[in-house]
Amino acid sequence: MSIRFAGRGATGAIDVRMFDDLDAVARDAEGALDRMARPSLYDRIDWLRLTRAHVLPEAVPLIARAALGAGRCWLFLRAARGGRAEAYASWYTLRFAPVFAGPEALHAPLLGALARALRGRFSGIDLAPMAAASADLLIPAFAQQGWWAARSEATANWVAHTAGKDFAAYWAERPSRLRNTLRRKLRDSDLAIAIHERFDDAEWDAYEAVYRASWKPAEGSPDFLRALARAEGAAGTLRLGIARRAGVPVAAQFWTVEQGVATIHKLAHIETEKAGSPGTLLSEALFRHVLDRDQPRLVDFGTGDDGYKADWMDERRVLERVALHNLRSLGGIARAGHAMLKGGLRGG
């Protein structure tokens, strides 16, 4: 089902539609949300479909789209309790943002049109995890339409800047304690490491076996990850590393490499093997493989502020939670007032 609104922006009539059916979103987008058009994995219709099939099957999607000429803007939402909406995202979503196509000059007017249309449906909208640049663009557009925003830190994101660097150049910049540890562990290691660029069920079974025997909490949706790895393998972006000792998988990592960005989605090792540092050895092998073969400009260590990431990465970035409150609704006014009284929040 789609619901259509009409409005006007600074440069003409803006068409706004609300969708609760992902196939209808895809038809309306005419390829603009497909892999070839969207550099970010999390901005694609296929990501939404996998999320709906395996992670959020009961959630009601609400995809808001504004269009003006060649410009398009999408906001991927889902209905939540209390007359609110949330980002159509899960713990697998490493970045959430409004999605644009067309001239940059239209981004703010299109967001404003969405803000105006959503004002009649929700008392509030919660969005995370958002990069500061995305929040900086979204908040003023919504503020002009009667929304007030509270900003807070949602999580951290560590990255390494690797443009023009091979593995040797990258490795020379790592802390000496990491390089010395790796040197000692390599000397005594009997690991067999394989890195796969195509999906293989048996190798993915090995990944799952390591994860189940690791310190990590139970995987939220193993079927989602398997389906994602299969799709990325078919696209040639998968980098799956498996480390074995005496034929037994003891460490595993799931990366993707695309559009100049290498993303580390998941990693785990068997806790009883910790003394041999199989995770560290596998990380070194994957960084070497990816930097020398794929030559990305950036390595993204996903979300989370684990201490070890600082040794491998260059920069810590804050990802934000943006809580939008509709000041034309009683619920929105009440929640905005509560947020204003709380300490440590930035308002917009």
Query: Token pair 């509709």 is at which residue?
Result: 326
Distance of CA 12 to the CA centre of its chain: 33
Domains and CATH numbers, the chain: 2-155+318-347 (3.40.630), 163-296 (3.40.630.30)
- More confident call, 2 vs 118: 118
Tell me how long the chain is. Answer: 348
pLDDT digits (tens, 9 = 90+) for 314-336: 999 999 999 999 999 888 788 88
The region that residue 277 occupies, defined by phi over 0 for left and psi between -120 and 50 for alpha, beta otherwise, is left
Residue-level pLDDT at 329: 85
Neighbours of 103 (CB within 10 A): 13
Residues 53 and 123: their CA atoms lie apart, in Å, by 28
Mean pLDDT of 12-26: 94
What is the rounded CA–CA span in Å between residue 38 and residue 25? 15
Q: Which residue has the tokens 């100049």?
A: 260
Q: Are the CB atoms for 303 and 92 separated by under 8 Å?
A: no
3-state SS class at 341: helix
The whole-model pTM stands at 0.92
| pLDDT tens-digit map of 22-81 | 999 999 999 999 999 999 999 999 999 999 999 999 999 999 999 999 999 999 999 999
Residue 344: which pLDDT band, with cuts at 50, 70 and 90?
very low
Q: What percent of the chain has pLDDT over 90?
A: 84
**How does the average pLDDT of the chain come out, rounded?**
93
Task: Assign 3-state DSSP to the chain and report helix, strand, coil percentages, each to 5.
Answer: 40, 35, 25
Q: Are 198 and 204 in contact (CB under 8 A)?
A: no
